[in-house]
Amino acid sequence: MSQELIAELKTLFIEGLHLEDVSAEDIAADEPLFGEGLGLDSIDALEIAVLLDRQYGVKITSEDDRNQDIFASLNSLAEFVTENRSK
């Protein structure tokens, strides 16, 4: 997994989720995205899925049993994008 992809995802999150008070440096790649980490919620997860589909052609459905693992951290999300991207 490349640091370039991690940086792209940070920018995508900040711009796509309108995280006005967050900078790329504030997002740790190994911290949780939801709850205590970045503090995202289920609506943000849906928005992230749409952003990843548009940007990378990655499909994430709500029925996927791996969602908790996929969305665990920025690193896990980047790994999933790397393995499943079509763009």
Domains and their CATH numbers in the chain: 3-84 (1.10.1200.10)
Per-position pLDDT tens, the chain of length 87: 689 999 999 999 999 999 989 999 999 999 999 988 888 998 999 999 999 999 999 999 888 899 999 999 999 999 999 999 998
pTM of model > 0.75:
yes
Alpha carbon distance 12, 6 (integer Å): 10
Tell me if 79 sits within 8 A of 14, measured CB to CB.
no
Two tokens at 62?
A: 């709500």
DSSP-derived secondary structure letter, 63: T
